[in-house]
Amino acid sequence: MVIWIIGLSGTGKTTLATQVTERIRNLDGKVVLLDGDLIRTLFGNDVDHTIEGRRRNAERLSVLSKFLADQGIHVVAAVLSIFPEWRLWNRKNIRDYSEVYIKASMQTLLRRDIKNLYARAARGEIQNVVGVDIPFPEPENPDLIIENDSDRLDFKELVDRIVGLKVVQEALQGT
């Protein structure tokens, strides 16, 4: 099973993915958390943040997710996922695949801009920032959309919604 958690930087996808991973680990044990930045690091930071670098990283995330899922390891991936063709590839090639889209307004993202990505991009200090100078094509048919404009301390309700998805429940029950 693969849960593909999509959203711009600052939407809460990594926080949510971490908590979903912990919940699944407590239920089943066989789960790994993948994050776009982590995959870059694992491969020696050999891709940049240009469209082509991002495309190569997206391919790695999708292929690695399928590989792990085929081995019986559940995957929770926190990714920008700006390439609709790779989301389609995931749907066609990964058994028990679910997409969760975490949405937040740009006003919220600017307020949460921990990495200073949006502020630096707005000042022209950096380029290749998704949502600023690289478009973010929203997923067309996610299995779940979560509006996350409020500042939360407790993600339990959101974790419950993700783990409660039919595909997730069936995979965890082994059906």
List the catalytic residues.
81
The DSSP H or E segment spanning 68 is helix 51-70
Q: Which residues make Cβ contacts (< 8 Å) with residue 68, sequence separation at least 6?
A: 2, 32, 75
d(CA 118, CA 132) in angstroms, rounded, equals 7
Residue with tokens 């998805």: 165
Burial of 157 (0-12, 13-18, 19+ CB in 10 A): exposed
Selection from 25, 36, 45 nearest residue 65 by Cα: 36
